[in-house]
Chains A and B, each alone.
Chain A
Amino acid sequence: MIAFLTRRLSFGVLVLFTLSAFVFLLFYVAPGDPARMIAGEKATAQQLAQIRENLGLDRPILVQYASFLGDALRGDLGFSYRNQQPVVDLIVRRIPVTVSLVLGGVVVWLAIGIPIGIMSARFAGGLRDRLGQVFILIGLSFPTFVLGMLALYTLYFLPRKNGFVLFPPGGYAPLLDDPLKWAWHLTLPWLTLALVTAAIYARLTRGQLLSVLGEDYIRTARAKGLSERCVVYKHGMRATLTALVTQLGADIAVMLGGVIVIEQVYGLQGVGSMAVQAVRNQDRPIIIGVVLLGGLFIVISNILVDLLYAALDPRTR
């Protein structure tokens, strides 16, 4: 177990290291002078040199990278080119929005996806299965931002045009101020984020459960005289769970992409929209920070998923 954990941890470190090297090199070889970006077009040569020296841009690349890594490990990711604030502070300020979005989204998509998958598998070939399959196909095919825009149009704009407010146009209300308002603001983003992923989970649950239900040990469970509910929900789902957990690990990177788009559509000031903004502004420290944060998030979730998997499957212990 310890060996397993060390292996996963060292792989996580490798991922983060590769990622940091990738972004760092990317910006080092990239055209464009960071000093000019900070100082603006009108800066003098002297000002530029001063900025370079302050940032250590005149040092060799490896030295720069080493000091960048060292700073990053101490939780210092530098300052935004645009407003000179610490990147870490900027990110931390926006994390609650993104975390609210992600956690709520996970709950919603599991709550939608898994029951639909189970229903589809239990009544495979029947009408309920067909409905489930239609949901899966449409969900899988809907681009997140199209869904978001359509949802805003039909659930916010049309009601408002007719004089009543069903949902807010977007934006964020802090959880601690007013939990209800928080949930109300996030309902549409959650549903939008969840639909696509729910379809993936419904499909996976259906496929896995169908193949599990064909296993010999399910026949044994039936031969014991257990009720069909017990056979499906206890014996069937217990074996399906490991596959779902594995998928959860693989989906985290995909979901992060979804978050960026959702924040954009609903005008949520989260980490994702900050990244898009930073790209438009060529604010490199922020981009680097967000990429590393995303990597860290994925690595941590993957380790959690691995631990969960090991806890679920006695054969890996």
Chain B
Amino acid sequence: MSNAPSSTSSSDAPEIVQRGAFALTMRRLLRDPATLISFAFIVLLSLFAIFAPLTEIWTGHSAIEQYRETGMTPMGLPVGPNGSFLMGTDQLGRDVFVRLAYGARISLAVGVLASLAAATIGVTIGMCAGFFGGWVDTVLGRIMDLVMSVPFLLCALALVSVFGPSLSLSVSVIVFFSWTTIGRVIRAESASIAKREFIQASRSMGASNLSILIRDVLPNLAVPIIVYTTMMIPSSIVFEATLSFLGLGIVPPTPSWGGMLADAGANSIYLVAWWLVVFPGFALLFTTLAFNILGDGLRDALDPKGRKIVRRRKSRKNRTTTRKETAQ
């Protein structure tokens, strides 16, 4: 972390036992069962997704094959959960359980990838806008405003209608329309960090902008970056599911949760086959819920509101008017 070697420090006997930031965070997290359960759920879900092929082997059902004999009633309706089909079959006689496992892959992959990409873009642009201010901020800020004033689902529809639905298009659309959320937060945070005196101090010592950005600004953004990236995962998952639900996301035979729900919604088949909406629906709900709880928990643990507020008792405002805040 720093250039100070720590070889000798271990033998030091500090007279005050003080918990490090990491230990404190862990302590708070461990006292928060909701967050722990959510985390466990996410781990299990990831395992479920990674080992999706095992569900095929175990049940003996492929994800895309239609079991018209075993998986459908003589009337041509899907069968409910039973010993062979744990979660029933869909309107084409496919195994919902196996499809759910493969759908988890799509949801998690899209959620995590899109969030990481969006966070990278958002953090970079937000940091530059907030730190440099001036015309850089004006231009980047306007771009963010522009992206945010676009009816994104409609634009996504337009894009899909031209290029045809695909996974990569879904991810790009999600990234393009969601980096502004984190970008806005990081921009505000960076702007307030840029005004702190330790930035002045680095500058007065002759540090370059790049060095200040990387050593002074970025580490102080760790908390919002972690929290907002986590919180972006569920919205990306929902975004992808929505696209698939509207038939604009993952191309049909490939299972995805949104697509499964779309199939259930078509012709209102789910009204007679509840398992078609309950299993993928709740899988989606619990996944987003778990990520949201995890994000909340991380925020509370990393940045507790109860932390002591630095009282600026005798400090005087010596900032001579630099830039009058323009009326927004």
Residue A98 CB within 8 A of the other chain: no
Residue A67 CB within 8 A of the other chain: no
Q: Which residue of A lies closest to B248 (CB)?
A: A279
B-side contacts of A278, CB under 8 Å: 161
Q: Which residue of B lies closest to A207 (CB)?
A: B305
Residue B4 CB within 8 A of the other chain: no
Residue B206 CB within 8 A of the other chain: no
> Which residue among A150, A257, A297 has the maximum number of chain B CB atoms within 10 Å of its CB?
A257
B-side contacts of A276, CB under 8 Å: 157, 246-247
The 0/1 profile, CB within 8 Å of B marked 1, for residues 1-24 of chain A is 000100000011011001100110
Docked-complex contact B151 and A143, CB < 8 angstroms: no
**In angstroms, how far is the closest chain A Cβ from the Cβ of B147?**
9
Binding stretch for chain A, among B69-77, B110-118, B284-292: B284-292
Q: Which residue of A lies closest to B247 (CB)?
A: A280
Interface positions, chain B 150-180, Cβ under 8 Å from A, are 150-155, 157-163
Docked-complex contact B145 and A316, CB < 8 angstroms: no
Residue B146 CB within 8 A of the other chain: yes
The 0/1 profile, CB within 8 Å of A marked 1, for residues 255-293 of chain B is 000000100110010110010010001001100110011
A-side contacts of B245, CB under 8 Å: 145, 261, 264
- Contact check: which of B149, B157, B234 meets A295 at CB < 8 Å? B149
Binding stretch for chain B, among A57-65, A68-76, A133-141: A133-141
Interface positions, chain A 144-174, Cβ under 8 Å from B, are 144-146, 149-150, 152-153, 157, 169
A-side contacts of B281, CB under 8 Å: 143, 146, 149-150
Residue A99 CB within 8 A of the other chain: no
- Contact check: which of A253, A261, A290, A302 meets B246 at CB < 8 Å? A261
**In angstroms, how far is the closest chain A Cβ from the Cβ of B253?**
18
Residue A291 CB within 8 A of the other chain: yes
Docked-complex contact B327 and A157, CB < 8 angstroms: no
The 0/1 profile, CB within 8 Å of A marked 1, for residues 61-104 of chain B is 00000000000000000000000000000000000000000000
- Contact check: which of A19, A141, A152 meets B292 at CB < 8 Å? A141
Docked-complex contact B270 and A149, CB < 8 angstroms: yes
Docked-complex contact A14 and B292, CB < 8 angstroms: no
Given contact pairs A143-B242, A257-B242, A280-B247, A26 touches B159 in the complex (Cβ within 8 A): yes
A-side contacts of B289, CB under 8 Å: 137-138, 141
**Number of contact residues on B: which range applies?**
35 or more
A-side contacts of B163, CB under 8 Å: 30
Residue A282 CB within 8 A of the other chain: yes
Residue B241 CB within 8 A of the other chain: yes
A-side contacts of B158, CB under 8 Å: 23, 26-27, 279, 287-288, 291
Task: State A146–B241 Cα separation when bound (angstroms).
Answer: 10
B-side contacts of A295, CB under 8 Å: 149-151
B-side contacts of A261, CB under 8 Å: 242, 245-246
**In angstroms, how far is the closest chain B Cβ from the Cβ of A197?**
13
B-side contacts of A152, CB under 8 Å: 271
Docked-complex contact B261 and A146, CB < 8 angstroms: yes
- Contact check: which of B153, B238, B241, B265 meets A265 at CB < 8 Å? B265
Q: Which residue of A lies closest to B234 (CB)?
A: A141
A-side contacts of B285, CB under 8 Å: 141-143, 146
Residue B208 CB within 8 A of the other chain: no
Task: State A12–B151 Cα separation when bound (angstroms).
Answer: 13
Residue A250 CB within 8 A of the other chain: yes
Docked-complex contact A260 and B154, CB < 8 angstroms: yes
**In angstroms, how far is the closest chain A Cβ from the Cβ of B183?**
13
Docked-complex contact A302 and B154, CB < 8 angstroms: no
B-side contacts of A141, CB under 8 Å: 234, 285, 288-289, 292
B-side contacts of A15, CB under 8 Å: 146, 149-150
A-side contacts of B264, CB under 8 Å: 149
Docked-complex contact A302 and B151, CB < 8 angstroms: no
Docked-complex contact A290 and B154, CB < 8 angstroms: yes
The 0/1 profile, CB within 8 Å of A marked 1, for residues 308-328 of chain B is 000000000000000000011
Residue B203 CB within 8 A of the other chain: no
Given contact pairs A4-B327, A22-B155, A287-B161, A157 touches B271 in the complex (Cβ within 8 A): yes
**In angstroms, how far is the closest chain A Cβ from the Cβ of B62?**
26
Which 7 pairs, one residue from A and one from B, show the smallest C-beta to C-beta distance?
A294-B151, A257-B153, A30-B162, A141-B289, A141-B288, A279-B161, A146-B281
Question: Can you name 5 A-B residue pairings with CB atoms under 8 Å?
Answer: A143-B238, A145-B265, A253-B151, A264-B265, A287-B158
* B interface residue numbers (CB < 8 A to A): 142, 145-146, 148-155, 157-163, 234, 238, 241-242, 245-248, 261, 264-265, 268, 270-271, 274, 277, 281, 284-285, 288-289, 292-293, 296, 305, 327-328
* A interface residue numbers (CB < 8 A to B): 4, 11-12, 14-15, 18-19, 22-23, 26-27, 30-31, 137-138, 140-146, 149-150, 152-153, 157, 169, 210, 250, 253, 256-257, 260-261, 264-265, 275-276, 278-280, 282, 284, 287-288, 290-291, 294-295, 297-299, 302, 316-317
6 new A-B contacts, CB < 8 A, other than A27-B158, A256-B154, are A138-B289, A144-B242, A264-B265, A278-B161, A290-B154, A291-B154
